Amino acid sequence: MSKRVLVVDDSSMMRKMIVKLLQPPGHIVVGQAKNGIEAIQLYKELKPDIVTMDITMRDMDGLEAAKEILRHDKDAHIIFLSNLDEEIYRAEVEKLGALGFASKHKAKEILEMIEEEDGKH
Amino acid sequence: MSTLFRAAESLSLKTRAFFFYGLTVLLTLLAAAGVVYEHGLTLLLLALLIAVQTAALFVFHHYVLKPLAHVHAATRQMTDGHLDILARIARQDEIGRLGESINDLAVNMQEVLLFVWNHSQQSRELFDQTAERLAAPEPLPTIQDNLKKMRQNNEDLKAIVLSFSYFEIRLEHERMLAESDCGNDGQG
């Protein structure tokens, strides 16, 4: 089923790549944010089904933004998408209550995670 | 008063330039009228004109030259490979936006370089694994699997490279081509 997605990444190029990845299976990118502050604001405005979240960003990083979003809506579905070491950071984002962690060079994994999440409902 | 001050801080350079231009024209016209009608106010108007010009110079220094020097210094650092330097101006005017765009360039460049780093790291792991497997009694399935993964990594890296457009270069059918006819000296 198609999902409404908020894409958060400080790199405009990466945002473009994620959008390109999400659109063919029918997902709708409802918004794009380039830092944590924008992400929180857009989340509250748009109420997306899924958030793809970068970790290292200027102004406010993704972990902090995710905490704030989850405080606002404990059912938020956040998938982290980062260049950072998967082994080290996966545990951290799972502790936070995120849906999952994908390495940017394996960004396609987010499609599987969205599908998996969809299957649960 | 403070809201007025904040509003003045967020003006664009274009608005500032028009403001000073308008004020200068108005004072010049008034001074000219003073000369024609031999009005005693002419000297005062000319003095005001000089004051406005001085203020314009100050604004030019504070809002154009200084932030430009800052953006320039940060950009120099970035071209030397320091992608952690920000070309950030805490203003929303033209130079602030220029600084932000330069930051975006640096962010994108960092993204590509980190992607390449992760890519080579992963390839190395697969190479090591393959080499190890070659010594095992049944090496083929793993090796084929690893080769498939390496190929996929390669495709992903290529997708990143293809998301840019290049000066004088066209990437097509797995080949790198010159955009124009390079050998022709630009004649044909």
User: What would the pLDDT profile of B36-94 be if each residue is shown by its tens digit?
Assistant: 887 778 888 889 999 999 999 999 999 999 999 999 999 999 999 999 888 887 778 89
Q: Give pLDDT, residue B155.
A: 84
Selected residues 168-187 of chain B with any CB under 8 Å from a CB in chain A: none
Can you tell me the mean pLDDT for A59-87?
A: 92
Write the residue in B110, B156, B164 that is nearest to A105 by C-beta.
Answer: B156
- B86, B111, B117 member nearest A14 (Cβ): B111
Could you tell me the pLDDT band of residue B181, with boundaries at 50, 70 and 90?
low
**Residue B186 pLDDT:** 47
| pLDDT band, very low/low/confident/very high, at A121 (cuts 50, 70, 90) | low
What residues of A are in contact with residue B160 (Cβ under 8 Å)? 13, 17
pLDDT of residue B185 exceeding 50, the answer is: yes
Identify the residue among B108, B120, B148 best suited for mutation to test binding to A, counting A beta carbons within 10 A and taking the highest: B108
- For the ranges A13-22, A103-112, B61-70, B73-82, the lowest mean pLDDT is seen at A103-112
Q: Look-up: residue for tokens 């697969």?
A: B126
ipTM value of the model? 0.84
Provide the pLDDT confidence category of residue B21 given band limits of 50, 70 and 90.
very high
Backbone angles phi, psi at A35, to 5 degrees: -155, 175
Mean pLDDT to the nearest integer, B105-133: 88
Tell me the mean pLDDT in the region A88-107: 86
In the 3-class helix/strand/coil scheme, how is B51-90 assigned residue by residue? Answer: HHHHHHHHHHHHHHHHHHHHHHHHHHHHHCCCCCCCCCCC
Which has more pLDDT, B150 or A119? B150
Supply the pLDDT for residue B1: 61
Query: Buried (b) or exposed (e) across A22-60, using 16+ Cβ within 10 A?
Result: beeeebebbbbbbbbebbbebbeeeebbbbbbbbebeee
- Between A10, A104, A107, which is nearest B107 by CB? A10
Q: Could you give the CA distance from residue B116 to residue A115 in angstroms, rounded to a whole number?
A: 28
Cα angle, residue A77 at apex, residues A4 and A11 outer, rounded to 5°: 70
Query: Could you tell me if B75 lies within 8 Å of chain A, comparing CB atoms?
Result: no
The DSSP annotation for B101-149 comes to HHHHHHHHHHHHHHHHHHHHHHHHHHHHHHHHHHTSSS-HHHHHHHHHH
Average pLDDT over residues A84-109: 86
Estimate the crossing angle of helix A12-22 against helix A109-120, to 10 degrees. 50
Q: Shortest CB distance from B104 goes to which of A12, A17, A107?
A: A12
- The candidate with the shortest Cα–Cα distance to B149, out of B175, B130, B172, B173, is B130
Range from A7-16, A40-49, B28-37 carrying the lowest mean pLDDT: B28-37
Q: Are B92 and B10 in contact (CB under 8 A)?
A: yes
- CB contacts < 8 A (A, B): 43
Contacts of A88 in chain B (CB under 8 A): none
Nearest CA to A17 out of B122, B117, B120, B162 is that of B162
Tell me which of A90 and B184 has the higher pLDDT.
Answer: A90
Of B104, B115, B164, the CB nearest to A105: B115
- Whether pLDDT at B18 is above 80: yes
The backbone region for B135, taken as left when phi is positive above 0, alpha when psi lies in -120 to 50, beta otherwise, is alpha
Mutate to test the interface with A, among B115, B116, B166 (most CBs of A within 10 A): B115
A74 vs chain B: nearest CA distance in angstroms? 30
Strands across the sheet containing A78-82: A28-33, A4-8, A50-53, A78-82, A100-103
pLDDT value of position A52: 95
**Residue A42 pLDDT > 90:** yes
Residue B152's pLDDT band, with cuts at 50, 70 and 90, is: confident
Residues of A with CB under 8 A from a CB of B: 10-14, 16-17, 58, 83, 103-107
Q: What is the share, in percent, of chain B residues with pLDDT greater than 70?
A: 95
Q: Is A90 left (phi over 0), alpha (psi -120 to 50) or beta?
A: alpha
Chain A residues whose beta carbon lies within 8 Å of the beta carbon of residue B103: 58
Whole-number pLDDT of residue B184: 59
Q: Looking only at Cα atoms, what is the longest distance across chain A?
A: 35
Specify the pLDDT at position B143: 83
What is the rounded average pLDDT of the residues A1-7? Answer: 91
